[in-house]
């Protein structure tokens, strides 16, 4: 059947319409990406802080992995070219007996060594043996012992006077200062070997090189998801907020002024949701806040340390708007631009994405493991 000129024109118009829709979707996706980039690079240069040296010293900044402005996908090992991050965490040595406490000896966060002595070893003796070399370690170190009577593991501190046959010692591999070094790990291994020799205990050491690689991979993963989102509330006309009014509004919103000089919002379990700090150098302390006059406030949410990031961000945003309305201020981002709806959605989406990556990597946001690694 012959195709008429009208049909050809209709087909051409339909194709053009599809092309226009596709082009608009591509343009919209790029706009969303630019919006997200603007937010996540915000910590690199804050116009609000550039004008005041004191404020620059006090205000929180966004923790962005890699070089300034660079975003890296989290992965373990040599998988930089992979489409998706590899999140199979190599675990520490297999535990024997009852499980160890995650607060002291975690299969992901720590290198855990086990010692088994033929006769019970006094805890004060072990503390004395490890005192010199343990003080040289920059990462947290914990000693644990298995209580024969209860059959469970317990943390052994300087005040413990018990005697134990089975021991475990755990060195944390990563924190926000970086991974444990090969030299530090060597000091740890040598020190524990000395304790084993002096107590006639058996000890099996893993490959130090493998532990160093595991620490480096874990640190790389943590760095890639380690972000703090920061918002500012500033005086709308360039004036100041009075400290007495600020405190009243903050406490009415459910915030508590704590001893470190910031207001803090917490969840029902006592975990931190976000903080509200002075944009300037002066801390928000109970006495000095009475005479405080500040040009703005900084609200900060530490994504890895919050259990439900999206919920915490929504509450932080609501409190920020409440503070702005009550104090006569405006809510802005790190570039001193009003916080648009597109930015808000981008932050919420990125928070959910980062926390899901943490869960996929066996690090539950806000858990004991996360609090230790991101400290």
Domains in the chain, number: 2
Task: Identify whether residues 277 and 356 lie together within a single domain.
Answer: yes
pLDDT at residue number 50: 40
Is 103 a domain residue? no
Establish if 170 belongs to a structural domain. Answer: yes
Residue 43 to residue 334: CA distance in whole angstroms: 7
The angle at the Cα of 197, spanning 196 to 202, to the nearest 5 degrees, equals 50
Predicted confidence at residue 34, as pLDDT, reads 47
Shared domain check, 199 and 231: no
Do 187 and 217 lie in one domain? The reply is yes
Q: Are residues 340 and 246 in the same domain?
A: yes
Q: Which of 171, 194, 222 is the last residue of a domain?
A: 222
pTM above 0.85, yes or no: no
Query: Does 200 share its domain with 313?
Result: no
Q: What is the pLDDT along the chain (375 residues), one digit of tens a residue?
A: 455 554 555 555 555 554 544 554 445 555 444 444 444 443 333 433 343 333 333 333 343 333 333 333 333 333 333 333 333 444 443 444 557 777 889 999 999 999 999 999 999 999 999 999 999 999 999 999 998 888 889 999 999 999 999 999 999 999 999 999 999 999 999 999 999 999 999 999 999 999 999 999 999 999 999 999 999 999 988 889 999 999 999 999 999 999 999 999 999 999 999 999 999 889 999 888 989 999 999 999 999 999 999 999 999 999 999 999 999 999 998 788 899 999 999 999 999 999 999 999 999 999 999 999 999
pLDDT at position 77 is 35
Residues 329 and 233 in one domain: yes
Same domain, 241 and 209: no
Determine the pLDDT at residue 17: 52
Is the residue at 15 inside a domain? no
Instruction: Match 């499980």 to its residue by tokens.
Output: 99
- Please indicate, yes or no, if residue 273 is contained in any of the structural domains: yes
Q: Are residues 184 and 278 in the same domain?
A: no
Helix, strand, coil share of the chain (percent; to 5): 40, 20, 35
Q: Do 288 and 369 share a structural domain?
A: yes
Q: Are residues 192 and 281 in the same domain?
A: no
Which of 203, 222, 241 delimits the end of a domain? Answer: 222
95 inside domain: no
DSSP 88: -
Domain that holds residue 368: 33-64+227-373
Within-domain flag for 93: no
Q: What is the pLDDT of residue 143?
A: 97
pLDDT the model gives residue 149: 81
> How many Å apart are CA 79 and CA 139, to the nearest integer?
27
Q: What CATH number does the domain containing 273 carry? A: 3.30.1400.10
Write down the pLDDT at residue 151: 82
* 345 to 33, 172, 278, 297: CA distances (angstroms): 12, 36, 26, 22
**Considering the domain boundaries, does residue 117 fall inside one?**
yes
Q: Which of 222, 251, 268 is the last residue of a domain?
A: 222
Q: Tell whether 196 is covered by a domain.
A: yes
Alpha helices, DSSP H, located in 87-165: 123-134
Together in a domain, 214 and 265 = no
- The strands making up 272-278's β-sheet, listed across from edge to edge, are 256-257, 263-266, 272-278, 296-302, 228-235, 329-332
- In a shared domain, residues 217 and 272: no
């Amino acid at each position: 059947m012959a195709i008429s000129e009208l049909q050809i024109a209709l087909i051409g118009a339909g194709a053009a319409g599809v092309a226009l829709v596709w082009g608009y979707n591509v343009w919209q996706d790029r706009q969303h990406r630019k919006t997200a980039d603007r937010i996540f690079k915000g910590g690199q240069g804050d116009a609000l802080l550039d004008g005041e040296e004191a404020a620059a010293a006090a205000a929180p900044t966004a923790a962005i992995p890699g070089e300034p402005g660079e975003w890296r996908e989290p992965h373990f090992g040599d998988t930089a070219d992979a489409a998706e991050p590899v999140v199979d965490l190599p675990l520490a040595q297999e535990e024997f007996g009852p499980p160890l406490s995650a607060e002291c000896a975690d299969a992901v966060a720590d290198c855990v060594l086990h010692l088994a002595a033929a006769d019970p070893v006094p805890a004060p003796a072990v503390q004395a043996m490890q005192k010199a070399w343990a003080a040289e370690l920059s990462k947290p170190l914990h000693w644990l012992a298995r209580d024969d009577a209860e059959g469970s593991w317990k943390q052994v501190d300087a005040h413990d006077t018990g005697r134990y046959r089975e021991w475990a010692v755990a060195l944390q591999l990563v924190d926000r200062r970086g991974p444990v070094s090969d030299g530090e790990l060597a000091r740890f291994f040598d020190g524990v070997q000395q304790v084993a020799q002096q107590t006639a205990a058996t000890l099996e050491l893993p490959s130090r090189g493998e532990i160093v690689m595991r620490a480096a991979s874990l640190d790389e993963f943590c760095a890639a998801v380690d972000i703090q989102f920061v918002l500012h509330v500033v005086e709308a006309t360039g004036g100041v907020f009075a400290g007495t009014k600020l405190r009243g509004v903050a406490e009415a919103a459910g915030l508590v002024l704590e001893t470190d000089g910031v207001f803090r919002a917490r969840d029902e379990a006592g975990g931190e949701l976000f903080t509200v700090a002075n944009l300037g150098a002066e801390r928000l302390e109970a006495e000095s806040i009475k005479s405080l006059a500040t040009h703005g406030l900084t609200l900060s949410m530490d994504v890895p340390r919050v259990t439900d990031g999206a919920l915490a961000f929504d509450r932080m945003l609501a409190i920020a708007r409440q503070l702005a309305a009550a104090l006569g201020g405006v809510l802005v981002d790190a570039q001193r631009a009003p916080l648009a709806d597109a930015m808000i959605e981008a932050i919420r989406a990125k928070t959910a994405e980062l926390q899901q990556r943490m869960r996929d990597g066996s690090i539950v946001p806000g858990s004991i493991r996360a609090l230790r690694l991101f400290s």
